[in-house]
Amino acid sequence: MNAINKKIFKHFQNNCYSFQLISYNAEKISYSQLIKKLKQENSRQVLFNSEVMIELIKETAINNKEYIVAALKIGSEDDLEVQENINKIILSMRTDYSNVVRLIEELSWCYDNESIDISEIKIVSRGENYDNAKILSNGIYFGDEKIFNNFIVPVLTRYFNGE
């Protein structure tokens, strides 16, 4: 069984960042070896701080009607009440997606570029094909490359390039 993982990297060239999804076989190259190899190629790993995670959530509500937030996990396992509130809001978003505003408000305490309090987010398409993606705060990516290219890259581009 091949353990194929994907990691998001950024590369700075011509005064702006570009983003790529690198697939790697964890049985052939370790995570640290991959980071070292891409660092030598002048690429850096993308880490998803809470601010970037919330920007993804905002994007589903404001600019992109194709994808929705299906799940979100905070990093602190001892804050069960906050996680339960988040789960309830996300559940309510299935029938009324405008509740995404409540989700953003619930997460306002961690809206910071130095925070990694949101450990993962799952995005799904509203379409019938049920494309989905899960992003971990360390930049590990599971899911459809279409979501990466059409949804994640534009958010990262605006965030890192100030567009």
* pLDDT tens for each residue of 32-43: 999 999 999 999
What is the residue type of 161? N
pLDDT of residue 3: 64
Which residue, among 163, 162, 161, 128, has the nearest Cα to 14 in the 3D structure? 161
What average pLDDT does this structure show over 23-51? Answer: 93
What is the residue type of 157? T
How many helices (H) and strands (E) would you count in the chain? Answer: 6, 7
Mean confidence (pLDDT) of the chain? 91
- Angle in degrees, CA 59, 134, 92, rounded to 5: 60
pLDDT of residue 2: 57
pLDDT of residue 52: 96
What percent of the chain stands above pLDDT 70?
Answer: 98
pLDDT of residue 51: 95
Q: What is the torsion angle, in degrees rounded to the nearest 10, for the CA atoms of residue 76, residue 81, residue 82 and residue 83?
A: 70
- Please determine, for residue 1, whether its predicted confidence score (pLDDT) is greater than 70: no
83-101 b/e with 16+ CB inside 10 Å = b?
eeebeebbeebeeeeebbe
How far, in Å, CA of 86 to CA of 2, rounded?
34
How far, in Å, CA of 157 to CA of 42, rounded?
18
Q: Are 48 and 139 in contact (CB under 8 A)?
A: yes
pLDDT of residue 17: 96
State pLDDT tens for residues 73-119.
998 777 888 999 999 999 999 899 899 999 999 999 888 888 889 99
- Please determine, for residue 146, whether its predicted confidence score (pLDDT) is greater than 70: yes
